[in-house]
Amino acid sequence: MKNDIQIVDYIKATDPYYLQMTTNIDTFDTFFFTKQHHHYMQQALLEAEQAFMEDEVPVGAVIVHNGHIVGKGYNQVERLKDPTAHAEILAISAACQTLDSKLLSGCSLYVTLEPCPMCAGALVLSRLDRIIYSATDPKMGACGSIYDIIQDTRLNHQIEVIQGIMENESEALLKKYFQRKRK
């Protein structure tokens, strides 16, 4: 990650949830993971499981505004024969329709895999406040692992990022999918 954001490793709490602290050095905002983050990531995982059942890469996303899910999606690239039908893009479209706005200020995206460059660009354009993702994408990640589009200060909007909520569950589903594809 760039110098303007630090992500502290997870500290396993006494309950089944994890506590992580993310600090943006410029604003000194600190976010604490709660059961609410866990709940919304579970909803994104349900979307990912739907993609898995439809033989799509199992990535799911939900967008939350004022405590309510306003958009959700799962990968549908194969079904729709559309290379842009990623979970994040479909969730953005649904949220914009629900909120009757092209901008998603005040919204958070929960997604099971780190967004790719296409999705990261769309998220910046939508003016989303925060991205919470489970698993890091070591081949196409654009939220800090390979690229850092969402924190690029040359762009007119930067997005807070929180990484690692339910990482093991998301990684397990992805591994199961790719093992099945290799058989």
- pLDDT value at position 183? 77
> Which residue is it, tokens 């939220």?
143
Residues of the chain predicted below pLDDT 70: 1-34
- pLDDT value at position 139? 95
Catalytic residue among 47, 56, 88, 160: 88
161 bridge partner residues: 131
Alpha carbon distance 87, 60 (integer Å): 5
- pLDDT value at position 16? 36
- Which helix (H) or strand (E) covers residue 38, if one does? helix 35-53
Q: Sign of the C-alpha dihedral, residues 37, 139, 49, 88? A: positive
- pLDDT value at position 28? 33
Nearest to 126 by CA among 88, 86, 85, 176: 88
Alpha carbon distance 83, 32 (integer Å): 35
- pLDDT value at position 15? 33
Q: Does the annotation count 114 as an active-site position?
A: no
- pLDDT value at position 50? 98
- pLDDT value at position 35? 78
The string of pLDDT tens digits covering residues 25-53 is: 343 333 445 678 899 999 999 999 999 99
> Which residue is it, tokens 């893009």?
89
Alpha carbon distance 28, 22 (integer Å): 10
**For residues 85 and 93, is the Cβ–Cβ distance under 8 A?**
no
